[in-house]
Amino acid sequence: MKNKIAVQVDDLTVAYNYKPVLWDIDLEIPEGVLMAIVGPNGAGKSTLIKSILGILKPIAGSVAIYGKPYDKQRSLVAYVPQKGSVDWDFPTTALDVVMMGTYGSLGWIKRPGQKEKKAALEALEKVGMLSFKNRQISQLSGGQQQRIFLARALVQNASIYFMDEPFQGVDATTEIAIINILKELRKAGKTVIVVHHDLQTVPEYFDWVTFLNVKKIATGPVKDIFNDDNLTKTYGINYKVVVSD
Amino acid sequence: MLGSFAVLRKQSLLGDAISHAALPGIAIAFLITGAKDTNTLLLGALISGLVGTFWIQGIISKTHLKSDTALGLILSLFFGFGMLLLTYIQKQPNANQAGLDKYLFGQAATLVESDVWLMSIVTGICLLVLLLFWKEFKILLFDADYTKTLGFNTKFIDILITTFIVLAIVLGLQTVGVVLMSAMLLAPAAAARQWTNSLSMMVFLAAIFGAFSGVFGTAISASQNNLSTGPVIVIVAGIFVLISFVFSPGRGLLFKQIRFIKNRRDLKLHKTLAFMYHIAKTHEDISHPHTIKILNNFQGYTKGTLQKLVDKRYVKLESGNWSLTNEGYKTAANLYNQQSENNE
């Protein structure tokens, strides 16, 4: 079943100054997986996502989305940035932020109309934030802000979702709400790629995993490759996890 | 108007740097043409302002220097160069040179009709571009990386915003001058931010505040002798900012303090009431009287808070003893339930 390749990365190398942050990454992500990217701080997890999405310019390598260059396939891809990457004191409302998800399909100059508003409201409903639609974004809690970001990506109605640490600084309720939405996306045949920090929850949340530490250590189904050996290779210390079945 | 974008981009000082960077442009334009034609001089200012801005952005992205360092560097470098050229021009035997220094502090009185026309036209263009690209400006300001993934050319939007900020500054130079221009750009925007939480309202208010400062400032300076217009306009704008900081209902200092005090007082009353409710529960008669000493012994509640509860008829005072009324008991019980609901 899982034979179609959603995202293919070839020989990707990224450097900020002299030191490479990512070195010669080859990666194939099959369609319909819920994948975690794990690795220590500075391993280049966010950088990997950002260079796949063209936010950062790689030194070498190429990215293909369903076999075509990313530039031609933008509408298939949605991105949820780290919550801390924006200024939440910006004067706007929750609904307004979610509406931004429709800007891409609108293109230049055209304004969002009723259709876009309806889509945004539906997305807010899905993340359980409908009653906060007119709330100032500065008055939302961390978990609520994360849900707004997720709703903004849902509005794009993409096939592939990239998320940068969606569980960072959110409470347990939000974490469960988010993971349920991600699992629903997978059920609908979408591909979801998540930068993730909490190793304990990897087997519970995800079915696919990529170990990253500047180089790609391993990638594949969680049940096959999520083991002490790979964790030790990635984190450089003797790591023992209890994988419950 | 455009200042709103500078403020929200946390590039407030950029305005300062640009206006200073415009000075050598004015001087060079004068040196090349030898004439004091306003449009040529402003064109020079525009070009050197833009050069300065892109250098600043280049320094930030190519080196490890922080943005404030880059701003300061370019600001003083361009300003110093501009002053050098100005003094050189002043030494020249060209009768035309007098009056170039008006760009330092501005001289609204020297504006002629064609200048006003130019300003109106450029303002109109700014407004048009702002309306057309409103959506793009907004999303770029809020989340630049995300904008890129949606397929927008963020560099283009960025250059567009920057160009119009520079344009606005250069036009203002004649009125308020190099040194004070950034205040003109930022003050209305900072004031507007205090009153509203919506971007469109903020831009609108900033435009209004800016226009009012201009009108009031000119009127004041015209009614007095020896008051130059530019500084007066800036001071008026500054007063707008001050008033906004103190009196705006949402973010203002005054209302914040009032809300804070009121909240504390309410909480104190609630605590006293809840405390009395607890004692009352231990007695069969809910209105069992207590002396203030007993209450005081427990947590040191003041007579003041008790008196306020009496005013609300939650507590009654009989011959030096305080007791809970039926109403007070009910309110306290509700309060208690509310609290536990909130905690869930």
* Residues B24-39 pLDDT 10s: 888 888 888 877 777 7
Q: What is the pLDDT of residues B47-93, one digit of tens each?
A: 898 888 888 888 887 877 787 888 888 888 998 998 888 888 887 76
**Residue that wins the pLDDT comparison between B246 and B334:** B246
pLDDT at B278: 74
Asked if the Cβ–Cβ distance from B149 to A92 is below 8 Å, we say: no
**Token pair 């961390």: residue:** A142
* Rounded distance between C-alpha atoms, residue A211 and residue A190, angstroms: 21
Q: Which residues of B touch A138 (CB under 8 A)?
A: 197
Asked if the Cβ–Cβ distance from A81 to B150 is below 8 Å, we say: no
Of B149, B196, B199, the CB nearest to A79: B149
Q: What is the pLDDT of residues A17-41, one digit of tens each?
A: 778 889 899 999 999 999 999 999 8
Provide the shortest C-alpha distance from residue B190 to chain A (in Å).
12
Is residue A225 within 8 A of residue A209, CB to CB? The reply is yes
Helix axes B154-195, B229-247, angle to 10 degrees: 70
Asked if the Cβ–Cβ distance from B148 to A108 is below 8 Å, we say: no
Query: What structural domains does chain B harbor?
Result: 2-184 (1.10.3470.10), 254-343 (1.10.10)
Amino acid symbol at B261: I
Least confident of A70-79, B124-133, B275-284: B275-284
* Rounded distance between C-alpha atoms, residue B246 and residue B233, angstroms: 20
Give me the half-sphere count of Cα atoms (radius 13 Å) on the Cβ side of residue A21: 18
pLDDT at A38: 93
Chain B residues interacting with chain A (CB cutoff of 8 angstroms)? 8, 10, 132-136, 138-139, 141-143, 145-152, 193, 196-199, 201-202
Burial state string for B47-83 with b = 16 or more CB within 10 A and e = fewer than 16? bbbbbbbebbbebbeeeeeeeeebbbebbebbbebbb
* B105 has pLDDT over 90: no
Average model confidence (pLDDT) across chain B? 78
* Rounded distance between C-alpha atoms, residue B323 and residue B262, angstroms: 25
Q: What is the pLDDT of residues A163-205, one digit of tens each?
A: 999 998 888 889 999 999 999 999 999 999 999 988 889 999 9
* Rounded distance between C-alpha atoms, residue B23 and residue B103, angstroms: 8
Q: Which residues of B touch A65 (CB under 8 A)?
A: none
Q: Output helix, strand, coil percentages for chain B, rounded to the nearest 5.
A: 80, 5, 20
- Output the pTM of the full model: 0.78
* B109 has pLDDT over 60: yes
